């Protein structure tokens, strides 16, 4: 089964359902990507920071070699890490990431966070993470405008077909839209029933940006990272409202959470190792929640954010 696509403001079609590569282990990544392609996944959401772009690229190369897909069937997403926001660093790091994947363009290249950190030479540490070469949290003076202008030149040079942003607030999106020559095609944000971000989603969609949800299952993804609120928050899969809707639709709670997003035009990028779950997660379009169910799930909102630098002990209060 394949995912339907959504037309981006860049003119390209993006699958509404994809496969996220965060926390996918290096030793299983190539196989996971290969199997996901076999199951019908076409969008892969990677990043420098995930440290597995080489392996993801190997999975893709094998799928192409075996005739499962062609490059043009795939939609490969990667992200510019915080340490590479300085204008002159954007193109070299994008080229390195393309070489790691073994491809010559990204379908979508995203500014991972609106946070500019001091440059770290990849020869010293890669991926660099949050600290500088001297192991401190050090900022770069690069403005978002400087970074975005360099992102636009990636499109001019054919290195990225579309460019986007992630973890941006409405204020930052508004500001960026004032000077953007090429508008961001997508805004990727944490989005689940405990953090619905309705105003931001509505604003972005009205401005023609496609919203992509990450961490659609809320606290689940953050248990292994021991994020405090994730451990103390009731799992969404067991929430009575979600379970009732799942029962009525004859679907799993995971599918209900993903459909709740896609029904609002929000793209999703879950991952799984399990073939049955892989299939389930792709089957989240073409059937509907009732309007009352969409509202009831949205009413679980608590403004509860799990992916927050502050929660990782970093003094960066962007949210
Ligand atoms: P996820 O969607 O991968 O879900 C978390 C966990 O749910 C997984 O570990 C998996 O074991 C489990 N799961 C998946 N399908 C299931 C099913 N059908 N039934 C039961 N359990 C299931 O969460 P995530 O990794 O936080 O987010 C998804 C993707 O979003 C990431 O891989 C990454 O690509 C992207 N992301 C981006 C940012 C950003 O800052 N832009 C931050 C976090 C994640």
Q: Is residue 319 part of a domain?
A: no
Q: Is residue 211 part of a domain?
A: yes
- Looking at the predicted structure, is the pLDDT value of residue 194 above 90? yes
Q: Is residue 1 part of a domain?
A: no
Q: Which domain holds residue 79?
A: 13-304
- Find out whether the beta carbon of 82 lies less than 6 Å from any atom of ligand 1: no
Phi and psi torsions of 195, nearest 5°? -145, 80
Q: Is residue 92 part of a domain?
A: yes
Judge contact between 250 and 244, C-beta under 8 A.
Answer: no
- Looking at the predicted structure, is the pLDDT value of residue 226 above 90? no
Residue with CA closest to ligand 1 atom 9 = 221
Q: Is residue 127 part of a domain?
A: yes
Q: Binding site residues for substrate, as ranges? A: 112
Q: Report the CATH number that the domain containing residue 172 is assigned in CATH.
A: 3.20.20.100
Catalytic residue list contains 50 = yes
Please give the pLDDT value at position 4.
Answer: 96
- Positive or negative, the CA dihedral 55, 56, 62, 64 is negative
Atom in ligand 1 nearest the alpha carbon of residue 255 = 18
| Count of domains observed in the chain | 1
Tokens describing residue 247:
């029962």
Q: Is residue 317 part of a domain?
A: no
- Looking at the predicted structure, is the pLDDT value of residue 2 above 90? no
- Find out whether the beta carbon of 262 lies less than 6 Å from any atom of ligand 1: no
Distance (Å) from CA 271 to ligand 1 centroid: 5
Which of the pair, 272 or 165, is modelled with greater confidence? 165
Please give the pLDDT value at position 227.
Answer: 87
- Cα–Cα dist 11/151, whole Å: 17
- Cα–Cα dist 298/292, whole Å: 10
- Looking at the predicted structure, is the pLDDT value of residue 80 above 90? yes
pTM: 0.98
Please give the pLDDT value at position 295.
Answer: 97
Distance (Å) from CA 123 to ligand 1 centroid: 30
Residue 286, preceding bond cis, omega within 30 degrees?
A: no
- Looking at the predicted structure, is the pLDDT value of residue 260 above 90? yes
Q: Is residue 4 part of a domain?
A: no
Q: Is residue 315 part of a domain?
A: no
Residue with CA closest to ligand 1 atom 21 = 254
Average pLDDT, the chain: 97
Best residue for ligand 1 mutational test, from 238, 269, 314, 318 (most atoms within 8 Å of Cβ)? 269
Interval 95-144: pLDDT, tens: 999 999 999 999 999 999 999 999 999 999 999 999 999 999 999 999 99
Q: Binding site residues, as ranges? A: 112
């Amino acid at each position: 089964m394949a995912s339907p696509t959504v037309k981006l403001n860049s003119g390209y079609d993006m699958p509404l359902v994809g496969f996220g590569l965060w926390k996918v282990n290096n030793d299983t990544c190539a196989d996971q990507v290969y199997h996901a392609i076999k199951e019908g996944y076409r969008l892969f959401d990677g990043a420098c920071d995930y440290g597995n772009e080489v392996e993801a690229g190997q999975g893709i190369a094998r799928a192409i070699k075996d005739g499962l897909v062609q490059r043009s069937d795939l939609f490969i997403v990667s992200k510019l890490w915080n340490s590479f926001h300085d204008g002159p660093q954007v193109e070299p790091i994008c080229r390195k990431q393309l070489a790691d994947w073994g491809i010559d363009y990204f379908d979508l290249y995203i500014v991972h966070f609106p946070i500019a950190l001091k440059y770290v030479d990849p020869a010293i540490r890669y991926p660099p993470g949050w600290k500088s070469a001297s192991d401190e949290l050090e900022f770069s003076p690069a403005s978002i405008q400087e970074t975005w202008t360099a992102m636009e030149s990636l499109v001019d040079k054919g290195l990225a077909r579309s460019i986007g942003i992630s973890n941006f607030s409405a204020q930052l999106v508004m500001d960026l839209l004032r000077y953007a020559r090429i508008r961001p095609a997508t805004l990727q944000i944490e989005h689940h029933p405990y953090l619905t971000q309705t105003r931001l989603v509505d604003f972005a969609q009205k401005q023609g940006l496609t919203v992509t949800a990450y961490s659609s299952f809320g606290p689940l993804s953050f248990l292994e990272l021991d994020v405090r609120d994730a451990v103390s928050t009731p799992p969404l899969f067991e929430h009575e409202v979600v379970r009732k809707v799942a029962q009525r639709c004859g679907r799993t709670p995971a599918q209900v959470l993903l459909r709740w997003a896609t029904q609002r035009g929000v793209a999703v990028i879950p991952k799984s190792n399990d073939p049955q779950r892989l299939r389930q997660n792709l089957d989240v379009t073409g059937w509907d929640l009732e309007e009352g169910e969409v509202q009831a799930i949205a009413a679980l909102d608590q403004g509860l954010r799990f992916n927050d630098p502050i929660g990782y002990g970093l003094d960066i209060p962007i949210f």
